[in-house]
């Protein structure tokens, strides 16, 4: 969430920067400024009325002490009138605050200068491509057929239990899942991240704090009876640990990693691109979250990118890194790098990780501040997948298949306990 004073002082620059997202935000920013002026005027009037009421209350007491009840009664009538006016101003102020906050929640983050212009994912900028694309044998299969052939993932059984997008992992398929989770966590912990286990149900304040709410696209599962949401990513519960908090600058950076199942409705997703593990409603993911001093956050972003790059190199998977364009940039992000791994059987790139710097956008919603020698400033927050499992599993199954089996990447063998499926 942007800061109102920041908008008022830099409306032209902010509107120009957000135009990279292919939206005209200036009318909304102007409305925010006008509403904030009205809010401040209303607050001033209310403060004056309350101050006058307090003064009259003192005078009433003095008149009673001096034995002059007639004047006290007259002032009491005025006090009642002021109380009535104060209530009107207070109600108006509360409504203005809610309306202003709702407008601010609807304004996306300001893209970093490095964000390229563009409208769709086709306009994202490739900044690195690494690894050799494997040449598969003539009868190579996509992962959904391999899953059936080796009886390691059952999509139909998941459909029977819950519905489409909820696969059942079996035998070596389940062990591969667990191996990847443990490998990712070990890599993250060895890089200085502290493991944390968090709830996967979150409340409305948590969803609002990290920017998933208001949920315009209807992507979150809601448990109506308790008004709780199934977390779409560990980013939500982990970052919200520090909601309404002040952290000491000496304690930065805060680096956390967490494994959770993730839940996304993926409303409106149809077609071959969602087949098999390509897009699921429930999936496993290991997340990185960092809370940083503003002067170190972009260095931290580079460190996160390098860290994930190292994991994909160890997995021996061909990958590329994309800098997202304005049209594909997430609502809350200033700058995002996507990692895609090449699916040799499907002959296409699949996104497996997204790493973002939100600067102060989330921390302003969260009321997360840094105490820097007595000065309170908004923290910078970052997160990234390290990594999301479904498409990694899809690419391992496809890229490491032979005519007779599926080889396990060498780095994972100590975790799986087997070399092939």
pLDDT digits (tens, 9 = 90+) for 247-276: 999 999 999 999 999 999 975 555 556 799
Q: Are 299 and 383 in a shared domain?
A: yes
Q: Are 98 and 126 in a shared domain?
A: no
Q: Are 126 and 86 in a shared domain?
A: no
Overall average pLDDT of the 233-248 stretch: 98
Final residue before a domain boundary, out of 105, 132, 160: 105
Overall average pLDDT of the 8-22 stretch: 96
Q: Are 91 and 129 in a shared domain?
A: no
- Tens of pLDDT along 301-319? 999 999 999 999 999 999 9
Between 115-119, 149-153, 217-221, 382-386, the lowest mean confidence (pLDDT) is in 217-221
- Tens of pLDDT along 358-389? 999 999 999 999 999 899 999 999 999 999 99
Overall average pLDDT of the 179-183 stretch: 98
Q: Are 294 and 327 in a shared domain?
A: yes
Q: Are 87 and 140 in a shared domain?
A: no
**Contacts of residue 271, Cβ cutoff 8 Å, sequence gap at least 6:** none
Final residue before a domain boundary, out of 105, 131, 151: 105
Q: Are 89 and 160 in a shared domain?
A: no
Let me know if residue 54 belongs to a domain: yes
Q: Are 210 and 266 in a shared domain?
A: yes
Q: Are 199 and 305 in a shared domain?
A: yes
Q: What is the largest CA-CA distance in the chain?
A: 107
CATH code for position 181: 3.30.930.10
Q: Are 244 and 374 in a shared domain?
A: yes
Q: Are 230 and 377 in a shared domain?
A: yes
Contact 139, 410 (CB under 8 A): no
pLDDT band of 352, cuts 50, 70, 90: very high
Let me know if residue 115 belongs to a domain: no
- Predicted TM-score (pTM) of the model is 0.92
Q: Are 63 and 152 in a shared domain?
A: no
- Tens of pLDDT along 66-124? 777 777 777 777 888 888 899 999 999 999 999 999 999 999 999 999 999 999 999 99
Query: Count of alpha carbons within 13 Å of 250, Cβ hemisphere only?
Result: 2
Let me know if residue 309 belongs to a domain: yes
pLDDT in the model for residue 272: 53
pLDDT in the model for residue 400: 98
Specify the number of domains making up the chain: 2
Final residue before a domain boundary, out of 105, 137, 161: 105
Burial environment of residue 341 by CB neighbours within 10 A (0 to 12, 13 to 18, 19 or more): buried
Let me know if residue 111 belongs to a domain: no
Q: What number of other Cβ atoms are within 10 A of residue 203's Cβ?
A: 16
CATH code for position 34: 1.10.287.40
pLDDT in the model for residue 270: 54
Residue 158 in this model has a pLDDT that exceeds 90: yes
Contact 235, 210 (CB under 8 A): yes
- Residues of the chain above pLDDT 70, percent: 98
pLDDT in the model for residue 68: 73
Let me know if residue 289 belongs to a domain: yes
- Provide the residue range defining the domain that includes 277: 121-416
- Tens of pLDDT along 319-335? 999 999 999 999 999 99
């Amino acid at each position: 969430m942007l800061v109102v004073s920041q908008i008022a002082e830099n409306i032209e620059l902010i509107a120009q920067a957000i135009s990279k997202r292919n939206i005209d935000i200036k009318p909304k920013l102007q409305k925010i400024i006008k509403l904030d002026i009205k809010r401040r005027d209303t607050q001033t009037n209310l403060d004056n009325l309350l101050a006058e009421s307090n003064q009259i209350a003192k005078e009433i007491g003095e008149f009673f002490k001096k034995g002059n009840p007639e004047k006290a009664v007259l002032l009491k009538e005025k006090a009642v009138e002021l109380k009535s006016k104060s209530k009107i101003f207070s109600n108006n102020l509360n409504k203005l605050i809610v309306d202003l906050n709702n407008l601010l929640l609807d304004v996306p983050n300001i893209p970093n200068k490095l964000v390229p212009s563009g409208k769709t994912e086709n306009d994202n900028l490739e900044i690195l491509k690494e690894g050799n694309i494997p040449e598969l044998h003539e009868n190579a299969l996509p992962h959904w057929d391999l899953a059936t052939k080796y009886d390691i993932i059952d999509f139909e059984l998941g459909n029977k239990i819950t519905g489409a997008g909820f696969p059942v992992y079996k035998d070596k398929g389940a062990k591969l899942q667990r191996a990847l989770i443990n490998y990712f966590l070990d890599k993250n912990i060895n890089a200085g991240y502290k493991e944390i286990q968090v709830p996967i149900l979150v409340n409305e304040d948590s969803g609002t704090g990290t920017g998933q709410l208001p949920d315009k696209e209807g992507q979150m599962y809601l448990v109506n009876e308790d008004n709780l949401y199934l977390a779409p990513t560990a980013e939500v519960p982990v970052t919200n640990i520090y909601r309404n908090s002040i952290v000491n600058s000496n304690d930065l950076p805060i680096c956390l990693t967490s494994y959770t199942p993730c839940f996304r409705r993926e409303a409106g997703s149809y077609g071959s691109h969602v087949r098999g593990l390509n897009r699921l409603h429930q999936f496993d993911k290991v997340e990185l979250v960092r809370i940083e001093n503003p002067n170190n956050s972009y260095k931290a972003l580079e460190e996160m990118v390098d860290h994930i790059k190292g994991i994909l190199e160890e997995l021996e998977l061909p990958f590329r890194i994309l800098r997202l364009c304005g049209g594909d940039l997430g609502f809350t992000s200033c700058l995002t790098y996507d990692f895609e791994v090449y699916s040799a059987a499907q002959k296409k790139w699949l996104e497996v990780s997204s790493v973002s710097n939100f600067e102060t956008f989330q921390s302003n919603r969260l009321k997360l501040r840094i105490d820097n020698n007595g000065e309170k400033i908004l923290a910078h927050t970052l997160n990234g997948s390290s990594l999301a499992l479904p498409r990694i599993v899809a690419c391992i199954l496809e890229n490491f298949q032979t005519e007779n089996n599926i080889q396990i990447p060498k780095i994972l063998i100590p975790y799986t306990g087997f070399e092939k499926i």
